[in-house]
Structure 1
Amino acid sequence: MSNSSQPINKDLILRENLALQRTILANQTTLLAFLRTSMYFLVAGLSIKNLLNVPGHIYYQVVFYLIAIAVLIFGVINYFRHKKKIIQSEIHIGNYKLDFENK
């Protein structure tokens, strides 16, 4: 039973739960966008040899590969950092699950 004497607003609980789910999906979408961008730089590095007929094209390839790796690492770190913040934000919603199940 809830310690407060006020009734639980079930619409508010549903709205908060749905907002949390949207935030989780947005975080996953952002990770996939970083992965896609990383793959674009990887493909650019692979195809630069055919596009440029200059000596030293290997340096351009290495630059594109390094950018691809950096974007991928940043995206993964960003994903887990935001995932941790999302999990911590569930605490601020309160103990609504226990209150909701008891009513």
Structure 2
Amino acid sequence: MSKLENSINKDLLLRENLALQRTILANQTTFLSFLRTSMYFLVAGLSIKNLLQVEGSIYYQVLFYGISVCILIFGVINFLHHKRKIEESKIHVGDYKLEYEKKG
């Protein structure tokens, strides 16, 4: 194997690993965005009683709490689904790594 092929294989491994790390960080950032949005709706539900000093404000509170819980559940499911897909894609990088180690 030539020196150029050896260098190309190392670059491929590095790029693949860095791409996986960026994907993991993006998945975590997305989960935190869902969590933040859920907390906004929770705070809105807590404060709606003081903003709307009418008798029907309890319905708005329940609505905001429900939206908050739905967003949180969807965020957790989304995070776990994408985390599983990322773990499955790591297998391919491992194949390249094993193939590289066999040649080296």
Q: TM-score, normalised by structure 2?
A: 0.85
Q: What 5-or-longer segments of structure 2 have no aligned partner?
A: none
Q: Is 1:52 the counterpart of 2:28 in the alignment?
A: no
Which whole-Å deviations, capped at 9, do the CAs of 1:39-89 have from their partners, x for residues lacking one?
000000000000001111000000000000000000000000000111111
Distance 1:55 1:11 in 2: 65
Given that residues 9 and 100 in structure 2 are in contact (C-alpha distance below 8 angstroms), is that contact kept between their aligned partners in structure 1?
no
1:9 maps to 9
1:67 maps to 67
Distance 1:23 1:67 in 2: 28
1:3 maps to none
Q: Is 1:88 the counterpart of 2:92 in the alignment?
A: no
2:76 maps to 76
Shift of 1:99: 4.2
Distance 1:91 1:99 in 2: 12
Q: TM-score, normalised by structure 1?
A: 0.86
Shift of 1:97: 3.0
Distance 1:100 1:42 in 2: 51
User: What is the percent sequence identity of the aligned residues?
Assistant: 72
Q: What 5-or-longer segments of structure 1 have no aligned partner?
A: 1-5
Aligned residue identity for 1:82:
H
Shift of 1:95: 1.8
Aligned residue identity for 1:80:
L
Aligned residue identity for 1:61:
Q
2:27 maps to 27
Quote the RMSD (CA, aligned, Å). 1.7
Aligned residue identity for 1:18:
L
Moved over 4 A (4+): 99-102
